Chain A
Amino acid sequence: MKIVSESTPPMERDRLGATATGLLRELVAHLRMHRTDLREEWARRITEAALLTAMSDEEIFAEATSVYDNYVEALETGTFQALQAYARNLSERIIPRGVQTDEVVGIVLLLRDVLARSLFAKYQSDFTLLNRILDAYEPAANRIANTVAVGFVQERERIIREQQEAIRELSTPVLQVRERLLILPIIGAVDPQRARQLTEQLLHGIRTNRARVVVIDITGVAAIDSHVANHLVQTVEASRLLGASVIVTGLSPEIAQTLVNIGVDLGKMNTVGDLQGGIEEAERLLGYKVVPLGEAA
């Protein structure tokens, strides 16, 4: 930082004595004045860097305009709530288009560069003033980049959580197919959390439907780890304690291997090859016999 001395010309002394707020105001005015050029420059660099490839040039330009204006406003006001809200809103729109985190961080940093270069150009004759301008600009610009990136990531996480919840609810119905007979068709990967949820649904389903037999079909499950396998065995045992027998059907060779590896007591597990066989066995346990119409019962 240059030391103001008697020999410093008055005009310069004034500018050096200007507060950070004053400098910020000055640079915001500059950014507003050159809005069109700078925005175009930025959009051009985005395309050059092959970012936002999922969006058309017109779309990029339209979003660039909003981002630019929000950026400058955040610089001006020093508050970031509006920017945060805008970032979440923008993310909500572009995430379904397949835009990635590195692209969003990339374009914000590009804008930061474009604006910084513009400041270098303007204040190039006065290195000290340039330094002070940058002192005012950099913290705010960094905070903006951070806010936008974090907003984007938070939005992504929110969407992922929503989707996971939706998938979880979709794939674990407990279905009553006969009086006292429930079927639990499991499809897809079963992680410990999903296993816990399945067990809870099943045990409560047994109580609600007063089931005596449950067929758990895992044809749609390729493999489970030993932790989930143990959980399955415990679920079978817990079901028995509620007065329901469990038949497990559709075990893949891999899962059969896993169960053998963890040393499951096969006496405790009633298994049948496929769902059809499982239902037939269940009906037998319940005392049903299925006969074609027209045949003597």
Chain B
Amino acid sequence: MVVPILRRADFLIATIQSALSDSGLVSLRDALVEQVGRHRSRGVIIDLTALDVLDSFASRTFRDLAYMVRLRGARTVMVGLQPEVAFAMAQLGISLENVSTALDVEEGIAQLTQTGAHGNQRGR
């Protein structure tokens, strides 16, 4: 299942609509890294609102994605985690370290815009 990637000004927005297989996650990662370069985006927002579970492989993949995207000159924000999923992850000790998070797409864009403007990390 291919995840649609929207482009909005300098940002890429990927909305995950259902549980992704491992290969689907890897494809998404690669697609985003490629598009960041092609469109010279400065931010990537990954919308997880529809996910009801996030396992360790997924979280590792997103971590890698954030690093790779950073190397290509853009920042990543993960948004829309459900409270129950967030707590389950915390319980299992799965953390998205060094990955920014925000409540939803709107907040994510605000965060990326401010980070760009002031050059400092927010939401830590």
Residue of A with least CB distance to B111: A243
Contacts A243-B101, A245-B124; is A237 near B90 (CB within 8 Å)?
yes
A296 to B102, CA, bound (A): 34
CB distance from A266 to the nearest CB of B (A): 14
CB distance from A9 to the nearest CB of B (A): 82
Q: Which of B13-21, B25-33, B68-76, B80-88 contacts A (4 or more CB under 8 A)?
A: B80-88
CB distance from B46 to the nearest CB of A (A): 13
Chain B interface (Cβ < 8 Å from any Cβ of A): 78-79, 81, 83, 86-87, 89-91, 95-96, 101-103, 107, 111, 123-124
Cβ of A182 within 8 Å of any chain B Cβ, yes or no, is: no
| Majority-rule SS of A interface residues | helix
> B101 to A241, Cβ gap below 8 A?
yes
A274 to B81, CA, bound (A): 30
Task: Count chain A residues whose beta carbon lies closer than 8 angstroms to a beta carbon of B.
Answer: 20
Neighbouring A residues of B79 by C-beta, 8 Å: 243
Chain A interface (Cβ < 8 Å from any Cβ of B): 199-200, 203-204, 206-207, 210, 212, 233-235, 237-245
Neighbouring A residues of B89 by C-beta, 8 Å: 237-238, 241
A244 to B101, CA, bound (A): 8
> B87 to A238, Cβ gap below 8 A?
yes
> B87 to A203, Cβ gap below 8 A?
yes
Q: Given known contacts A206-B103, A238-B90, A244-B103, what 12 new A-B pairs fall within 8 Å (CB)?
A: A199-B87, A203-B87, A210-B103, A233-B90, A237-B90, A238-B83, A241-B101, A242-B86, A243-B102, A243-B103, A244-B123, A245-B124
A233 to B89, CA, bound (A): 12
A206 to B79, CA, bound (A): 13
Contacts A207-B83, A212-B123, A243-B123; is A235 near B90 (CB within 8 Å)?
yes
Neighbouring B residues of A245 by C-beta, 8 Å: 123-124
> A237 to B101, Cβ gap below 8 A?
no
27 contacts between A and B (CB under 8 A): A199-B87, A200-B83, A203-B86, A203-B87, A206-B83, A207-B83, A210-B103, A212-B123, A233-B90, A234-B87, A235-B87, A235-B90, A237-B90, A238-B83, A238-B86, A240-B101, A241-B86, A241-B90, A241-B95, A242-B81, A242-B101, A242-B103, A243-B102, A243-B107, A243-B111, A244-B103, A245-B123
